[in-house]
Structure 1
């Protein structure tokens, strides 16, 4: 959102985040990607001390009271060089803690929001399952009330932060009603007996953001850990729009980084006796890359700015996410082409950007899912994707 009517304070915030990214995280990012490790605890505390983990959380809960735009500025600058660091800011400002802020009890907000801002609680979201990805309402993980506790059974998959975060907001089926009607969400600490983790996933990208299955076998949590009761699925996904804007910003950052590296490279690299930038095809390609990056930034900025008085507009969010996700794949691919053989090596960092671009195009709802959502908003009704015989109420 650079240059889009930023306030002086937001300009300073961007400069600070860029400096931290450049001086602290850029030197470590490749190593974290290579060894697939999560962000070390010391770096979580550093981000907390900088105020980045609570930048968009209310001041009364220890946050900075900033806007969604403020949070996206920090996420973008960090994500240009280090997605694991950006992801920690992402989870703390646009992730599941916002569900707690909007729909949790006063006790839950007081218990979790300040600890997230201080870096003491890291919370990941657990929606997908082995047989429930885009079709989230097919989820089977169940939580049943037993006295003063909820007993959770089931398996969650593709959980970013799985096995690394110390708390999870788990979407679960709370009663026997079909489809969305039986789904709610509750908080499950990682140390809960009956919760175990599968082997770390070996993903194409996201390598510095651990991912693992969550396996619930009679895991018991207090009744007070229920955040959204059965039938609250629409409420959950209304807040998930905030997370999708963070997702779009990750894609934007990847594309901007690919563009920036390409601009530097084509001015330095020589072929046929002159710099690459002197070739018209290179000029046109870089111009197209820039157009796409700026268009994504404007779409994200519009959705974020319009959300300041509340939750984002789903139509605007889905357009921004769909475009940004696909744009990052295209732009990082073009960057690889303009770098030639060098773009295919780890040394120049382009291949890492391209790998991560594909991950963010899947996470949080694929472009295909976003297009279905966009069509639903255009026509003012939902479209059942199931065969007639499989339709659920």
Structure 2
């Protein structure tokens, strides 16, 4: 296990009707003028927005609104939010929704006190050194942004989807009411599940030795998803299954399962080009890319893939041919994703073979390589896209 520092300051308020405490919590963390960041009309139609406004008003907290955040959130709303915060004297960001709303709120929070273009943080030109506090009311278990310091934004000029991160962007509090996820379409629930599992696998496939504790934590989250997701696909109102999935999503990405070990993140980077080009759901893109990436890099550490096959997917270990066991595990993962209604190929996603060169070029590594498990160059990325055809 490697040396590490782990800082996770978020206060989680979990359970039914927990959103009614929002105003009190904002006040507890020093907010006086809030910008509510949200997506489409679902938080309005469900009554959640009215409930949050009443809670803020009861606590004497003033608020403004920024709606219209789309999946694969764009930079235009970030610029709009930064301008609005400065104009209104906002000192606190409150995101209602899923990863898109939360990531946008984080980008705004970092951009308001920054004297130049917030995109500097996403292009690697600057490091976040100051940010307004962010809080969340989660409505979809997926991105894990409610517990992490990470954020991903797409720049419309050039269609570049890039990430940034800082502990300063970890939410000060996150409200998690599993009931708020019950009205999600089955496809969105499935996409969220793929994202959660991908967050774990990006950490699980590591070159760091002797990480049994975090191996077992990763496996526990994955087994929870395998067990609970089919339940909510059959019965969307299964509160206990929703609760387990919601907490799994947070644990998967606040890095408690990833401390002391190297990570990879190539699958996410490769997928970002898919969702930037086709505006597909991130989880759907990951369902296509992750099994292809696994098959491509498996021989780098066959025994780690075989371990996952045995411990997570219930395969029988073939000590004479561990590669067979490893491939069986990858196949079972792919079949699981398909069984919950996700695409597992370019054709099912609607992606096109002729766009592969453009996505490879847009990946932005030049002639270099990237990745923490297996370093990949452009030819490797091209090959993984073609495996996913």
TM (norm. structure 1) is: 0.24
TM (norm. structure 2) is: 0.24
